[in-house]
Structure 1
Amino acid sequence: MRTVLIDTDILVDLLRGNARARTLLEENEDRQVIASITVAELYAGSRNKKEAGAIAALIGLFDVIALDDAIAESAGLIRRRYGASHGTGLADAIIAATALAADAQLATRNRKHYPMFKTILGY
């Protein structure tokens, strides 16, 4: 069974009731994980306790891969290499580094920020 790391944008779409996001996650039988930075991004975007509760419930469905020193170093190098050319910000670099460290395929709809992946799941 392979591992798929779900990018924040897919989870935001899911929280907003996007059918394509739901289908992508429901039809994928692989192990689905998220990066710890995704947890921070989701809570940063919450506007009230109800949304924070929905985020907590959603996060509980996934294994969360913590940011460690190796991932942090890799993320810094990814940001340096792709920041200017592809607009890859630090959060996206951390997500990419986490996926690479977990030997996971990435699921995102933001292909531009992830040129280091040859194949991406998304819509």
Structure 2
Amino acid sequence: MLVDTDVLIWYSRANPKAINFIHQLDGFSISVVTYMEIMQGTRNQHEAVAFNRLVSQLSIKIIQIDELISSKAMFFVEKYALSYNMQLADALIGVTAINRQLKLATANTKHYQYLQEVKIEKFEV
């Protein structure tokens, strides 16, 4: 399972559904893009340390971007950015799920609707 940024944001806000969802998973991964989005959104050093502690405690695997992921994401951004506002981060995260053959847990299903190969595990807030 690849967990999208939004699910971890809900988790960090102590949303009971997100906490239950995360704790029911038998291990999961995140894209390095998700890691960077979360770190970029931290408001102080305490939040950054808390997120790194969470990554360690839950043994979250961080998947790096490789050439295959970047090439395919580039294709999708070229194809869908103007017509459907495909965002770079969503393309990279979606293609990571595709290339690693992982379901993508997200509440933001609209972000991935044009990546038909992505298998979505819809998270309900």
TM interval, shorter chain, is 0.7 to 0.9
**Which amino acid is the alignment partner of residue 95 of structure 1?**
I
Q: Which runs of 5+ in 2 are unaligned?
A: none
Q: Which runs of 5+ in 1 are unaligned?
A: none
Between 1:100-109 and 1:52-61, the stretch displaced more is 52-61
Whole-angstrom CA distance in 1 between matches of 2:63 and 2:13: 24
1:52 aligns with: 48
**Which amino acid is the alignment partner of residue 106 of structure 1?**
L
- Indicate whether 1:10 and 2:3 are aligned: no
Summarize deviations over 1:2-44 as a string: whole Å, max 9, x none.
xx10001111111111111111112233x41000111110110
| Alpha-carbon RMSD | 1.5
Deviation at 1:85, TM superposition (A): 4.0
Contact 2:33 2:93 in 1 (8 A): yes
Whole-angstrom CA distance in 2 between matches of 1:106 and 1:118: 6
Distance of aligned partners of 1:46 and 1:68 in 2 relative to their CA distance in 1, 3 Å threshold: same
TM-score, reference length from structure 1: 0.88
Summarize deviations over 1:67-86 as a string: whole Å, max 9, x none.
11111111111222332344
1:73 to 59, 66, 71: 71
Classify the secondary structure of the residue corresponding to 2:28. Answer: strand
Classify the secondary structure of the residue corresponding to 1:91. Answer: helix
Distance of aligned partners of 1:113 and 1:97 in 2 relative to their CA distance in 1, 3 Å threshold: same
Distance of aligned partners of 1:119 and 1:35 in 2 relative to their CA distance in 1, 3 Å threshold: closer
Distance of aligned partners of 1:100 and 1:51 in 2 relative to their CA distance in 1, 3 Å threshold: same
Q: Which stretches of structure 1, 4 residues or longer, exceed 6 Å deviation after superposition? A: none
Classify the secondary structure of the residue corresponding to 1:103. Answer: coil
TM-score, reference length from structure 2: 0.87
Alignment of structure 1 residues 1-123 onto 2, 5 Å: 4-29=1-26, 31-60=27-56, 61=58, 62-115=60-113, 116=115, 117-123=118-124
Between the aligned residues of both structures, percent identity stands at 34
